[in-house]
Amino acid sequence: MTSQEAWQAARYRQLAERIKVSIDSGALQPGTRLPSVRTLAAQYGVSQTTALNALRTLENQRYAEARPKSGFFVAQASAARHDQAKVIAPLDEQTELHLALVGSECRVRLDLANGSSDLYPLEKMAVLLRKASQAKPAVLGTAVKGTGYPPLKAEIVRRALHHGCNLDPDALLITNGCIEALSLALRATLSAGDAVAVESPCYFVLLHMLQSLGLRVVEVPAGAAGYVDVDRLLALFENRAVNAFVTLANINNPLGKSIPSPAKAVIAASADAHGIVIIEDDIFGDTAFGEQRPFPFLAFSPNALLCSGFSKTLAPGLRIGWVYSRQHSRRLMMLKYTSSMGTSIPPQRAIAEMLCNGGYDAHLRRLRSTLATQIRQLREAVVYSFPVGTQVSEPEGGYVLWVQMPPGALNVRELFIKARTRGIGIAPGHIFATDGRYDHCFRLNAGFGWDQDVAAAIEQLATWCGESLAVDNRALSPNRMLSLGKPATPL
Ligand SMILES: Cc1ncc(COP(=O)(O)O)c(C=O)c1O
């Protein structure tokens, strides 16, 4: 492809994305006639070929229907279109590249969803780990058996009572991180070809897990409140369009919101009534900034599976997680046996000791307060530096911010590469969806705190986004040039 052809391709995709947003938002209703090729070309300052390609793209994606001699119309099926489960395509080369780079060495760590080592009590954990190995060196010489270290399980059970969950320790399985817990939960309850509803934007590891298990997906966008559109989700349940809902209901990654308890109760009741499995990844629940830690779905339905762990609160390197389901416990344990046999005991002993006597609660309070400060600093910097039209999330906990430019105003794949060459890591939006709907978004991590390098990186990203927006407005919308340098708005 020549650079001219590549540029044209980027333009018609941007134009198609813009029209899609108007359709998705309801501004363009099903059956509405879309502007003609000539009108689109004039309105957006593109060639007629580019305008036609944009309309054809919408047609291929079933957003638009072509009617002979009449032009293009918003597809009648547009409301239902997103709610059809789709097979997730294998990763394209660019996404693979981005995933390989996210998390690899870089100077300014805005790409991950965890923190610098001073956020965690690592010295203390190192001492506890040493003690755990010294107390019983024989443990290191024997095969790991069972479902986990009983005192750790007892602590998890005790703590879950504070957020509405009454766990049976026999149905609790300790895993190698939350990712293994999630993988076991999916394999225990679903089969290839089943359809799964997920929140959109969706944690990219989850999307790839679903893909590797041959599961189909329905990406349910967030509503105005920043968490999943509940009506849309319930419609999927009622139509039995999905077999499961896999959710990051508490401090969602990347949006940072929690589904409020009353909405969880309604979702859980509907899921139970329609035989739909809820699998929750609650790894960020303990990082919630508010007074009351949000309740998991298990507090509203005994059928929900709950996955969590200590990678976001205590020590990412220890890789200790857990999965709970009374109903599926036997199958989970069998799958664990063929997945990784068991989970190493010394890290479990160290964490159990930290939870019992190590001041875990005081540590959690400090962690939450530090994260809240760091999120506020980063958010203020984005609001101050980024151009008008940028939107930024308002997280209720966790590590990350979601930044959204106007649709079509940013090619985040390019931004990602450009930033990387300057040693700045970001998580590009497109890895959070199975299609191009977040190509104008990215996720930033506040976990590494605020310093001059981060300040300079934010300035640099804001400048690139401003340039990209200015180019976009010149090329696509001569009458709607936005001024730069004014504050970004909340999502
Ligand atoms: C939503 C979510 N679940 C799970 C994990 C990873 O958990 P673990 O490291 O315990 O496997 C992450 C890490 O970023 C995450 O964002």
CATH of residue 240's domain is 3.40.640.10
Helix (H) or strand (E) holding 456: helix 452-476
Helix (H) or strand (E) holding 424: strand 424-425
State the Cα–Cα distance between residues 491 and 257, nearest whole angstrom.
11
Question: Pairing between strand 64-67 and 71-74?
Answer: antiparallel
Which ligand 1 atom lies nearest to the CA of residue 320?
Answer: 10
Asked if 227 contacts 267 with a C-beta cutoff of 8 angstroms, the reply is no
Mean pLDDT of 295-319: 96
CATH number for the domain harbouring residue 13: 1.10.10.10
* pLDDT at residue 101, as a whole number: 76
Residue 62 burial (C-beta neighbours within 10 Å; 0-12, 13-18, 19+)? middle
Q: In b/e form, how buried is each residue of 193-227, taking b as 16+ CB within 10 angstroms?
A: ebbbbbbbbbbbbbbbbbbebebbbbbbebeeebb
Q: Within 6 Å (CB) of ligand 1, which residues are found?
A: 113, 177-179, 203, 248, 253, 281, 283, 309, 311, 321
Distance in Å, CA 115 to ligand 1 centroid = 13
Distance in Å, CA 311 to ligand 1 centroid = 7
Distance in Å, CA 283 to ligand 1 centroid = 7
Q: In angstroms, what CA-CA distances link 243 with 80, 115, 192, 484?
A: 17, 35, 11, 46
Mutate to test the pocket of ligand 1, among 253, 284, 286 (most ligand atoms within 8 A of CB): 253
Q: In what order do the strands lie in the sheet with 320-324?
A: 86-87, 216-221, 195-200, 244-247, 277-281, 305-309, 320-324, 172-176
Same domain, 218 and 353: yes
Same domain, 77 and 92: no
State the Cα–Cα distance between residues 26 and 33, nearest whole angstrom.
14
Distance in Å, CA 282 to ligand 1 centroid = 9
Same domain, 216 and 336: yes
Mean pLDDT of 462-474: 80
Same domain, 390 and 323: no
Same domain, 384 and 417: yes
pLDDT category of residue 26 using cuts at 50, 70 and 90: low
Asked if 348 contacts 152 with a C-beta cutoff of 8 angstroms, the reply is yes
Same domain, 41 and 18: yes
pLDDT beyond 50 at 486: no
Would you call 265 helix, strand, or coil by DSSP? helix
Chain-centroid distance, C-alpha 55: 30
pLDDT category of residue 298 using cuts at 50, 70 and 90: very high
pLDDT beyond 50 at 477: no
State the Cα–Cα distance between residues 145 and 344, nearest whole angstrom.
9
Assigned domain for 123 exists: no
Same domain, 94 and 60: no
Q: How many domains does the chain divide into?
A: 3
Which ligand 1 atom lies nearest to the CA of residue 321?
Answer: 10
State the Cα–Cα distance between residues 399 and 96, nearest whole angstrom.
24
Same domain, 339 and 213: yes
Residue whose tokens read 């998705």: 24
Q: CA nearest 349: which of 62, 131, 202?
A: 131
Give the residue whose CA is nearest to atom 2 of ligand 1.
283
Mean pLDDT of 15-34: 78
pLDDT in tens, 335-381: 999 988 999 999 999 999 999 987 999 999 999 999 999 999 999 99
Q: Which domain holds residue 27?
A: 3-81
* pLDDT at residue 407, as a whole number: 83
pLDDT in tens, 166-194: 999 999 999 999 999 999 999 999 999 99
